[in-house]
Structure 1
């Protein structure tokens, strides 16, 4: 069974919310006794005079970080605000480290990821003043911030640092929680084998030390892993185990997230009534706990299921609530996805104007996010370039000074050597300039090709959109008017039937042209989804096609996605037209430094005289544009293998 891209994307979204609820390995939820203790600590500190506060500061901070739990507490923020005037993070003192430790985690709870990372980095400068459990806590905070900003490699680095410290201090019993955290990050990358490996480790370690909380986390993670691999029965079995633990312990926040996961599982199986039941249960629990993250997700999920079951008015009400809460959270990635869901919703209920309005919002926000990343990369390159220029200038000045001193001290004896040296330098400079100019020309030529390709892609998108929204909409309206006229006629004429048939064919042709110009699956969901759709549209009697990929939901650069998609299209056309093949196998695998696309058929092979046909020339040109490597392995009656390697 294949999943839709919307379903896959939302399963991973649930994982993201789960991670924040899993940061503490010693507490299941915020307890009344802890809140009372924190309030007492705040009152005691505020009532002290300045001298007493300064003397008691270290002890207050040590208590505060021990009391810091899951959830956003007004008391903790108030305590931090009271302490901050007494802190000077330029001093290397333990109180400053503890303040930054608690502050960064509190900023994480408030979804202020950039601030949390900044304060976490400052706290690491005080690493020698920390205790092992505090340092593990800090690395967990930093890793979680990276996870929420989709910096998975950095998240893993911080979690592995926490694991090293924990392994060196086994009396802390922290390994199950860290294994669970690592598993969640691997789930975010789509590496289900690694995710299952670390989840199994978490289960074993949690059982060994009788840690019920981390065992529950591992059970939930295992359920999601089975769901993503298509084993829905096992997934539901593990989810229900996890839900029973949460309900038994009274952990309503985690139970709400578990209901969301069960709903997603049922939606994957197209059991919409049961999915809606689970989503509603999760939303009700999230509302009762005022868990805004789960509420925002819950409204989106319930809204989509209300739409799937035909209740569009109620669906729109829930969608609007979900968007409003997502805006309040300030999570632009989730807001971008919410706009995209609304665009799809309006498109399916034949409201193209509203669909276009939300698609533009989605597109603009996505471009803003991508643009900021590009600007940041450019800024980093500029800093490196300026630093290198200054170093070169200093080296040049130093060299000139040395040469000047040599000239003054040994002017008569060294004059000839100096002339020779200057000549050599000039020659090297000329050669260097020629090489630099050649490289610059090559670079400009490549940039021009890229610009042309990107312009063509954008123009294809615009034309496809115009065909779909303008001409497609007009044809649909015309057809509707013809249908109404036909219903008013007692006996529709053959001419009327013929006109309706022609109009239907024209509408389908416009839709197909729009799709060929810029496939909607590619723009919305990426290369893997687009190739799946391309193969699903093949006539089963025509060829047996299979596609495997480890790419998951991770998106490539837009230029690479469209060029690789066109390569697959071109190869598929060649196979269907010329190969007389019965089977086609396509494999797309991402490695550390490159992406490999292999297309194999069992047809009659490529004769030597045809290896430079138009189709293969087009493929070679696209591979060259991506700075890749292209090879062909073929022989008569032995089929053909196209192997393409693209740097990432």
Structure 2
């Protein structure tokens, strides 16, 4: 449809419309050309709008009927027939409001606002243009939003509210520049010219009027061309440049006659009369003044004004009556809803009471069921843990204890000084001693752990002791085991740190952490015991430069279900119970164990003791 916009002759447009066979499509085409020609050829535009109205009414094309009524209202407004424009605007507004056709309802507001503007009722015009803006903003119709902003700025200017006019025109100009719409920009430039002319800046005003003409010619908007040209003529006349003014005014007059715009034509005749007089062309001035008087003071215009005022009053009265009727309906509806609400409230109370009683019964049943389920779940978890404990004990007894005992049983008969040389005898003796020592620690841990699982952690008799001295007990006990791998254990715990707790519990944890470090530290390695004091805690750490662990391995420590054991650096075997014991004894004393480790760089196990017991 847009591709035909460049041809405005009746024959070419009729040819396009007559090719269309669909009724609704034909009505849409007629409306399109009526809208397109509204500010170019009002006679032809009226013809197409009337055809669109006839077809849409007969075929019940509600959307196209609303558009046709709007087009007729706008065309009548352009011609200066304000009474007819207001009548069609009122019909369009009622129809589009009833049909819920928001785009055309917004257009009805715009047309009615324009009529009020022409009657210098700028307050009402601004009110309706703002409704137009609100609707088109909701519809995301950017072109119509830009147009509404232009119209609001123009009305504020006409009402001499210059600050508001400047504000809205700047918004409109920025908005339309982003849209890059020549028609809307032409309108914004004309408004800007009006503001500059009002402030006595005639050169700037004429510059913007010229920009208006340039943009209006691009979109063939005769209405914007003629209004910009007569404004330049008026402006030049104010500076007594009558000859130049007459050129612009005569061009504007020709466009006004071509368009059939009576209001603008009348105004131009008046301006031409003054310009001719100023230029000494008194005869031309007389003729122009005569034509102005004939148009302006005609009986048609007088009747139109009185009839328009009557129609406006009728419209406002109908609107108020409609509002009163609506209020009555709303009041009746509220009373009806009130009665229904009372009945519903009573029903709701009765239903709620029944529901609450049912809930209480169900709750009591569910409570018994929940308690039973929780007990079963607890017993299941305890059974699973017991079975896991059993499996762990059997694993230790069948593998970790049976293997070294079997090895001892096989080797001991061979330990004969008469059949072995001295060096072999001592070497075998050292290895057997190491196995027995490891077996001792395994048995010791097994007994400690089994007792704690069956009877709980015993002791917990608090005594005050020096942390360094207490750790030295474990260091000395394990020194011989460490020397077999030439591992150096260094105790660097601060000798001035005291702590109150069960010292045996502290020994068990330290001993197992050192045993673990010895197991995973290579020959000639180093194990260090350190201390660190913070505001609220004491950290006792056991660090080694052994094989280290991945983060995944660290996450699996201290838990019976996920715990694991790996051979030491000399293939030492173990139960993996040492760290589980550490975790249990630490928890019994409200201590924490923190692990930092990295593969190939060793590990650091820290016991975090609350300082309040220091």
Q: TM-score, normalised by structure 2?
A: 0.44
Larger-gyration structure (1/2): 2
Q: TM-score, normalised by structure 1?
A: 0.42
